[in-house]
Chains A and B, each alone.
Chain A
Amino acid sequence: MKPVTLLALLLGCMLAQTVQAQFPGIGDIGSAISKAKKTADDTARVAKGASGLSLEEEIAIGDAVSVAIVARYGGVWRDAAATHRVNLIGRILAQYATRQDLDWRFGLLNSDAINAFSAPGGRVFITRGLYQVLPNDGELAGVLAHEIIHIDQRHAVNSIANNEMLGGFTGLLADNSGAFGQFAQVVDAVADEILVTGYDPDTEFEADAGGHDLADVTGFAPGGLRAALVLISTINVQQQEVLSTHPPIAERLQRLPDDPPP
């Protein structure tokens, strides 16, 4: 038996117990059939959670995570020209990402911090502080391409699916009012991972390498991300939060190809 199948069965058994615990008074046949159907449906959803969320679930979670990101990072910087520019560069890059099932959107956070984030479902955020230190489109493209790869490679989605507890929850998200608490729990966990703990270093290095290649194939200078990181490394870290959710810049530079700046 495949491990995924086994995991789905195991989660299905756990779920069945949960459903039974939630509806102890159910006794009539109609309800029993309904309950069995719900269990079967939920088991299928949990199985899907073990192998990846549906697009609809990913977008629902991503939208809510985006609200959390904006709320925690000082709101959106409502500069129409800058927002137009990040959407222009970002969507040109995203045209050449593998995932064309997403409606890619790019925004600026009204924060002095130096950081960028991506939410499941195709939303990318860059702080005003970072945006303002990037001198041209090449460096901006390098940063955006890194974040696009996080979404393209489903890093947050896989993180949810790999968490058995959250995987089970997401299979149940928002299908009734009682499940909403669980949906919010998933959203908060994903937002925490994106904004507080960050991805593990290997995931970040993968986004660096993929972002480098994406910028290159699109025609932006492949050294854009490297140049951005070099610039960021000169910023006084005492005054501002600088890439707090990413591995040390020196390690990232060591792994990136030694391309010239744009």
Chain B
Amino acid sequence: MTPHRLLLISIIAALACATAPLAGAAEFSKGDKVWSKNVETALLAEPSPLAAAQATVGFAEKLAVKETQGKWLRVKGDDAKGDEVEGWVFSGNVASEKPKLPPAAGFTTVEASETNTVAAARPLTPAAEQYAQNQGAGNAQADVTWLDAESALVTQQDLTAYMVENSKGEYQQ
């Protein structure tokens, strides 16, 4: 390989790395491919969180961006039955790379409304508890347990209320 060719390949590789999409990337363009990242993603009739859902797609479904409007994307893809579906989705609800694992119900906090919130927090794993015990870190373990209980007190309703009030996420003006 000639030095010039090597240099050219290096430059192309460097550019490819520099432009590699990051998680949470803010901007997508028409023609991009994106992936759904929640168990169920609604494709809406209009670019608004209050619009009706005209279809849903499952986890890690590939979608083609047909149009953009601010942070909203009009996408086209296939639903679980293989039927072609289309609609609007907030860009924060899709990923620029295929997600590896679905939202894991076994590891997530149970809805606070369903049960006692303190009991709802996923406890430390047994391995971590044993680690704390072996390290004589009982106070730290108790602190993390307190933190987990406090975290569980913040509900999805709290998040939505903040987002609506402060124009965040799908609720941006």
Q: Of all chain B residues, which has the CB nearest A109?
A: B143
| CA–CA, A50 and B124, complex, Å | 26
| B63 → chain A closest CB, angstroms | 15
B37 & A92 in contact (Cβ 8 Å cutoff): no
> A78 is contacted by which of B122, B134, B135, B146 (Cβ under 8 Å)?
B146
A213 at the interface (CB under 8 A from B): yes
Pairs of residues from A and B, 9 with the lowest C-beta to C-beta distance, nearest first = A96-B92, A63-B128, A214-B24, A76-B143, A98-B23, A71-B140, A101-B101, A64-B131, A219-B168
B147 touches A105 (CB 8 A): yes
| Interchain CA distance A184-B129 in the complex, whole Å | 11
> A149 with B127: in contact, given A70-B144, A92-B168, A217-B92 (CB under 8 Å)?
no
| Cα-based distance from A9 to B122 in the complex (angstroms) | 36
Q: Determine how close the nearest CB of chain A comes to the CB of B116; give it in whole angstroms.
A: 17
A66, A137, A216, A217, most chain B CB atoms within 10 A? A217
Q: Does A68 contact B (CB under 8 A)?
A: yes
Known contacts A92-B159, A184-B134, A219-B168; A210/B150 CB under 8 A: no
**A232 close to chain B: CB less than 8 A:** no
A-chain residues with CB within 8 Å of residue B167 when the two chains form the complex: 219
Say if the beta carbon of A256 comes within 8 Å of chain B.
no
Interface contact B131-A67, CB-CB below 8 Å = yes
A112 within 8 A of B: no
Say how far A130's CB is from chain B's closest CB, in angstroms: 17
| Closest residue on chain A to residue B108 by CB atoms | A103
Closest Cβ–Cβ distance, residue B54 to chain A (whole Å): 22
> Does A218 make an interface contact (CB < 8 A)?
yes
Q: How far is the CA of A202 from the CA of B169 in the complex (A)?
A: 28
| Minimum C-beta distance from B49 to chain A (A) | 12
Bound state CA distance, A213 and B96, in angstroms?
12
Query: Is B117 part of the contact surface with A, judged by Cβ < 8 Å?
Result: no
A64 CA to B134 CA, complexed, in Å: 11
Contact across chains for A64 and B127 when beta carbons are under 8 A apart: yes
Interchain CB contact under 8 A, B128 and A60: yes
Separation in Å of the A86 CB from the closest CB of chain B?
A: 9
- The answer to whether A183 touches B127 (Cβ under 8 A) is yes
Enumerate chain A residues within 8 angstroms of B97, measured Cβ to Cβ: 98
Which residues between 106 and 136 of chain B lie within 8 Å of chain A, taking CB atoms? Answer: 107-109, 122, 124-128, 130-132, 134-135
Q: Return chain B residues, CB-CB under 8 Å to A209.
A: 22
Which of B26, B125, B151, B166 is in CB contact (< 8 Å) with A63? Answer: B125
- Whether the Cβ atoms of B131 and A213 lie closer than 8 Å is no
Q: Does B148 have its Cβ within 8 Å of any Cβ on chain A?
A: yes
Chain A residues with CB under 8 Å of B26's CB are: 213, 216-217, 222
Query: In the complex, are the beta carbons of B144 and A220 less than 8 A apart?
Result: no
Interface size class, chain B: 35 or more
- In the bound complex, how far is the Cα of B143 from the Cα of A210, in angstroms? 30
A48 to chain B, nearest CB (A): 12
A60 to B134, CA, bound (A): 15
A95 at the interface (CB under 8 A from B): yes
Which one, A187, A211, A220, contacts B131 given CB within 8 A?
A187
> B147, A76: Cβ atoms under 8 Å?
yes
Given contacts A67-B124, A100-B37, A187-B131, contact A88 B158 (CB under 8 A): yes
Q: In the bound complex, how far is the Cα of B25 from the Cα of A83, in angstroms? A: 27
Contact pick for B132, options A64, A107, A222, CB 8 Å: A64
Give 13 A-B contacts (CB < 8 Å), ordered by A residue.
A83-B147, A84-B153, A87-B154, A91-B159, A92-B168, A96-B93, A97-B23, A98-B95, A100-B37, A100-B103, A101-B102, A149-B23, A214-B23
Q: Told that A87-B154, A219-B169 touch, could you supply 9 new A-B pairs with CB distance under 8 A?
A: A66-B128, A67-B140, A68-B131, A70-B143, A87-B151, A102-B107, A149-B24, A183-B131, A213-B24
- A57-91 CB contacts (< 8 Å) to partner B: 59-60, 63-64, 66-68, 70-71, 75-76, 78, 80, 83-84, 87-88, 91
Contacts of B11 in A (CB 8 A): none
Docked complex Cα distance between A37 and B11 (Å): 47
